[in-house]
Amino acid sequence: MNGQASRLIELNKLAELGNKSSESKIISVCSGKGGTGKTFFSANFSYQLSKLNKRVLLVDLDYNFSNLNILMNQTSSSTISDFFEQSENLENVIYNYSSNLDLVFGDSGKPAFPRVSRELIDYLFTSIRRIQHRYDFIILDSSAGADGLVLQQLMRSDYNIIVTSPEPTAVMDSYVVVKLLVEKGSEAKRLVVVNKCSDAEEGENSFMNLSVAVNHFLKEKIELLGFISLDASAHKSIMNQELLLNFDRESKSAQEIYTNSARFITIAQVANNNHR
């Protein structure tokens, strides 16, 4: 990390401290287990928020398997690697997708992908805070699991949306993520999406199992954002490299994403009103 970046981090940390009243708007979409649908959810949720007149920045922050560009069938000459290597400001790696939606792509597979460090995560958050006034929500699609870097990212976000599938293994891994966050004293608001549900009962049972364990063992609460069905349209939209909300607006999973997005806006409004 060069001297200029270190100074920028220090200056912005001071600014952050003096700026406690700023609105909560950074959302990390995370999971314990891989493949639960984080990227699918992040992309469609971001798009729906943008359709509801929210200005959204979606960042592919999966250091291992960044594939938002494939899911959305987009190419961009600049990626987050250019930012992490400090050759570019965050502003310069932002790609405009549609009127209210901007994207920052990752680029897994690139041999020069820099080793992401705690300092670089700090640098990212400092840079996000600098441009956050341009957006209503900044959504970070994360790597699965809870290694040190992911935990740091989750702790610095205002919201953690934990995407789980209904399987007991995924629910258990979600519990572990919550446990690690609680142990570290995270103040981020935790919301849960149960994705790939075969039916409503399956989703409800999975959420209840997670919620009861968090309540009982950690003495904490988690809130349900919503369920998303296991849906052939969702799978087909990914195969077609199209957003589900463009591919099949009437599908069950698209309707559920509309509901979850509207619910999130209400939750965020209440949180910001309480904060004020």
Ligand X SMILES: Nc1ncnc2c1ncn2[C@@H]1O[C@H](COP(=O)(O)OP(=O)(O)O)[C@@H](O)[C@H]1O
Interface contacts to Mg ion, rule CB under 5 A: 38-39
Q: Kindly state the number of chain residues that form the binding site for ligand X, as judged by CB under 6 A.
A: 17
Cβ distance to ligand X smaller for residue 102 or 231: 231
Instruction: List Cβ neighbours of 67 (8 Å cut-off, separation of 6 or more).
Output: 39, 60, 106, 108
Query: How many Cα atoms sit within 13 Å of 233 on the Cβ side?
Result: 18
Strand 223-229 with 189-197, pairing: parallel
Residue 60 pairs with which residues in a beta bridge?
141
Cβ distance to Mg ion smaller for residue 33 or 156: 33
> Does 236 interact with ligand X (rule: CB under 6 A)?
no
Which of Mg ion, ligand X, none does 40 bind, CB closer than 5 to 8 A by kind? ligand X
Q: If DSSP codes are grouped into helix, strand and coil, which group holds residue 66?
A: coil
Cβ distance to ligand X smaller for residue 62 or 122: 62
Which of ligand X, Mg ion, none does 35 bind, CB closer than 5 to 8 A by kind? ligand X
> Which residues within the stretch 161-220 sit at the binding site for ligand X (CB under 6 A)?
195-196
> Which residues within the stretch 108-147 sit at the binding site for ligand X (CB under 6 A)?
none
Gap between the Cα atoms of 196 and 177, Å rounded? 20
> Which residues within the stretch 38-97 sit at the binding site for ligand X (CB under 6 A)?
38-40
Closest CB 79 distance from ligand X, rounded Å: 17
Gap between the Cα atoms of 67 and 79, Å rounded? 12
Identify the residue among 1, 10, 13, 35 touching ligand X (CB under 6 A).
35
Query: How many Cα atoms sit within 13 Å of 172 on the Cβ side?
Result: 3
CB 229 within 8 A of CB 197: yes
Which of ligand X, Mg ion, none does 157 bind, CB closer than 5 to 8 A by kind? none
Gap between the Cα atoms of 131 and 115, Å rounded? 24
Identify the residue among 28, 36, 66, 81 touching ligand X (CB under 6 A).
36
Q: Encoding tokens for residue 165? A: 């599938």
Instruction: List Cβ neighbours of 65 (8 Å cut-off, separation of 6 or more).
Output: 108, 143
Closest CB 2 distance from Mg ion, rounded Å: 31
> Does 228 interact with ligand X (rule: CB under 6 A)?
yes
- Interface with ligand X by CB under 6 A: which residues? 31, 34-40, 195-196, 228, 230-231, 234-235, 238, 253
